[in-house]
Structure 1
């Protein structure tokens, strides 16, 4: 009888894995601890700690310290080499072209429109992750991308032959069409290339440049309002499914809170960044010549056509809904 009771207890434990044991997950992020993404991820971890009463412990590894860049994250999470990752959406274009949506140049004009676009496209993102054994937890939006440079970039002449880092095929095509010499680089490779003179300018946000002390190399920032791209935080589905019901509910609630937190943060981040830039003698170029902006916008037009061709009905449905509701 005593043996039978013991067997029942053991069976209950096996049937409900991790019901009481503390769970440990690793979380990969290519950006440094001061970045808007790392700060959002730390907020998520705090919410998970609170809502699970510390039964789920997540360790954030910033700066690509686990050896993964954004381009590695999708398969690393799918294969459970790391349980969670914060990934630049455009780095996942090899999985599905839908991930180039948020970085389409000049499609959105402000964070409100960027959030609307994300909400419209979210079911499509979720399906791609689900089809690959992953769960989309939340978005991590960037402030608008601009141009960090050694010399002011505010004209066609300034763009001519400019070795500028881009972060995806949208940027590469746009700046090539505009006369520059774009180089598509992962974030981890940007500062080394600046240090060696491999590039003279960087397409990224004021926030990314500030968190990496770009002022040590570049003293100009052109606020072209190019795009408000997304990072996405995704998790291995097997690991998520192994949690008990209350832990799953807590993670999803933490993700919901972090989504709201991140979109609220991105709306105020630019002014904070500009104060940092001014304190380090970076010249911010806001009122850029109209012909220069029109040059970039015209150069960017093929990106939307290409994206719609690659995504088909899905892409057209998203764009139609966005144009109707924005």
Structure 2
């Protein structure tokens, strides 16, 4: 009888220890402010994970880059496990793997349907690239279409000459340089002061970022060139992922799929809302002239052709599959 009781107690203890071992807490680095829809999406994901795993997986989201990581170093930071999870602007880490620059290739997708097709086509290659960096891609969602915020109106191709434009990745810099502008890279946190001091006089970004950055205080115009729908991805270090039980992994992926679908819809809604706010604050919003469209389209085609000539096989395969 005593032997049976001891055996039963050992089984209970084993189950308790197993349950305790299955519980896990992780920090998730979020680049943008808590009011940004990407950071809000990360928080929604954390909430759903906690709900679906009955609290056994807890994710603490840290918006505004408050953990101290914001840029091209993020892939390595997650790879090394310095932070377990992060949202990452794909184009910002394209220097680490070329495929991460696919979504910000200029004028490759000019509406949300095309952007979704491009994402679905390239997803296997994104997954592969993430695995190389010891992490798993959980979900990705697009920024609204990038346009140009300027101090003077863009009416002709000549108006691009001399623009000191802050771009968010190499692709945008290359296109604007071909158009005659002088692109430069700046951390988001330094942009407002750069606009105030005249270090830059224009910004390639979305209406959402223009709203978040209060660009009406320094800029006057927004031209909707629909440059790209760049993706943000949320990733997890593979060692942390492997520490989850199969059931926990299943529930995390369920949450990720739901948030991804929600964030694609939210991107479009955020764009509409932000354009309305910008207009109310005095920003003049316009469609690009045919001359500008023709110039940018021509430059974009040439840029893609040149990129394909020197690109690696995964990048080529994704682009070719998308264009079928």
TM-score in same-fold range (> 0.5): yes
Structure 1's 253 and 209: CA in aligned 2 closer, same or farther, altered over 3 A? Answer: same
Matches within 5 A, 1:1-326: 18-19=21-22, 21=23, 23-286=24-287, 288-324=288-324
Q: Deviations over 1:206-259 (max 9, x none)?
A: 011112211111121110111111011101111111122322111111100011
Q: Is the 8 A contact 1:215 1:280 kept in 2?
A: yes
**In the alignment, is the contact (CA less than 8 A) between 1:133 and 1:236 conserved in 2?**
yes
Q: Distance in 2 between matches of 1:275 and 1:268?
A: 11
CA distance in 2, matches of 1:140, 1:60: 17
Question: How far 1:4 sits from its partner (Å)?
Answer: 7.3
Return the alpha-carbon distance in structure 2 between the equivalents of residues 116 and 275 of structure 1.
27
Equivalent-residue separation in structure 2 for 1:310 and 1:259 (angstroms): 32
Structure 2: segments with no counterpart, 5+ residues: none
Instruction: Measure the CA separation in 1 of the matches of 2:272 and 2:157.
Output: 27
Work out the number of aligned pairs and report it.
Answer: 321
Could you say what secondary structure the match of 2:73 adopts? helix
User: Which secondary structure state, in structure 1, belongs to the residue aligned with residue 126 of structure 2?
Assistant: helix
* Contact 1:17 1:244 survives alignment (8 Å): no
1 CA distance for matches of 2:238 and 2:198? 42
Secondary structure in 2 aligned to 1:218? coil
| Residue 298 of structure 1, CA deviation | 2.0
User: How many Å separate the matches in 1 of 2:133 and 2:34?
Assistant: 28
Instruction: Give the deviation of 1:156 after TM superposition.
Output: 2.2
Please report the TM-score for the alignment, with normalisation by the length of structure 2: 0.92
Contact kept in structure 1, 2:106 and 2:300, CA below 8 Å: yes
For residues 268 and 143 of structure 2, the distance between their equivalents in structure 1, rounded to whole angstroms, comes to: 10
Confirm or deny: 8 A CA contact 1:145 1:226 kept in the other structure: yes
Cα separation, 1, equivalents of 2:242 and 2:114: 33
Alpha-carbon deviations, 1:49-105, whole Å to 9, x = none? 221222222121111111111312111111111111111101111221011100000
Q: Secondary structure at the match of 2:21?
A: coil
Asked whether the 8 Å contact 1:108–1:227 carries over to 2, the reply is yes
CA displacement at 1:3 relative to structure 2: 7.6
Distance 1:259 1:47, change over 3 A: same
**Residues 306, 85 of structure 1: alpha-carbon distance in 2 compared, 3 angstrom cutoff:** farther
Q: Is the 8 A contact 2:125 2:318 kept in 1?
A: no
* Distance in 1 separating the partners of 2:124 and 2:107: 23
Unaligned 5+ segments in structure 1 are none
